[in-house]
Amino acid sequence: MIEIHDLTKRYGDKTALNQLNLNIAPGQIFGLLGHNGAGKSTTIKNLVSIIQPTSGTITVDGLDLAQQRLAVKAKISYVPDTPDIFLQLSATEYWDLIAAAYQKSEAEVQQRRQRLMALFDMAEHAEEPMASYSHGMRQKAIVIGALLPDPDIWILDEPMQGLDPQAAFDLKNLMKAHAAKGKTVIFST
């Protein structure tokens, strides 16, 4: 269970979030829907603790994010709002980096990597630097990275952005399957 209590975020004089209250239960696919600048990415960045709230609290399975940041981070994976990250790495190197950060069995991660790479048609380009990828290919590489460790909570900021219809369809099915296992998916659109 994710509990956001009175979350306020200010950037200088600008209030991006004003006392947001939200509970997200396991088994849910929770969509953040809003216009540009509504505060979707700000909410998500607070949840994954890339930025700190101005005030308010976030707890995940009873753990206070501010106090137990690493324990909470082990439960979540994240697709950021831009796929233009780690461009000097190949997708394979990026996935290795992600896999190393989560304490999951090597065999399990490898198996999932093969499956996701085939599903998203990324095997052919996996060894090339992500700088040489199209926008959609970068997005697929980042999405695979987020799904690879298979933590309980997936937090996806505009995950369909740039994906072709087949990849978007496949990702939606993965999101549904994750929630059907009693896990949590949060995404913005």
Ligand X SMILES: Nc1ncnc2c1ncn2[C@@H]1O[C@H](COP(=O)(O)OP(=O)(O)OP(=O)(O)O)[C@@H](O)[C@H]1O
Rg from Cα positions in the chain: 16
Shortest CB 146 distance to Mg ion, Å: 16
Among the listed residues 2, 20, 24, 40, the single contact to ligand X using CB under 6 A: 40
Does 42 sit near ligand X (CB under 6 A)? Answer: yes
Partner from ligand X, Mg ion, none binding residue 140, C-beta < 5-8 Å depending on class:
none
Whole-angstrom CA distances from 21 to 35, 78, 106, 149, 168 are 19, 21, 38, 29, 30
User: Nearest-CB residue to Mg ion?
Assistant: 41
Residue ranges in 71-90 that form contacts with ligand X under rule CB under 6 A: 81
Picking from 70, 72, 43, 7, the residue whose alpha carbon sits closest to that of residue 187 is 43
Distance CA 62, CA 17 (A): 23
Distance CA 22, CA 83 (A): 27
Does 46 sit near ligand X (CB under 6 A)? Answer: no
Among the listed residues 34, 115, 127, 169, the single contact to ligand X using CB under 6 A: 34
- C-beta closer to Mg ion: residue 61 or 81: 81
Shortest CB 44 distance to ligand X, Å: 8
Which residues would be at the binding site for Mg ion (CB under 5 A)?
40-41, 81
The structure tokens listed for 105 are 């069995």
Does 41 sit near ligand X (CB under 6 A)? Answer: yes
Distance CA 100, CA 91 (A): 14
Among the listed residues 2, 4, 7, 16, the single contact to ligand X using CB under 6 A: 16
Angle formed by the axes of helices 91-101 and 106-119, to 10°?
Answer: 140
- C-beta closer to ligand X: residue 36 or 103: 36
- C-beta closer to ligand X: residue 14 or 107: 14
Partner from Mg ion, ligand X, none binding residue 184, C-beta < 5-8 Å depending on class:
none
Q: How far apart are the first and last CA of the chain?
A: 22
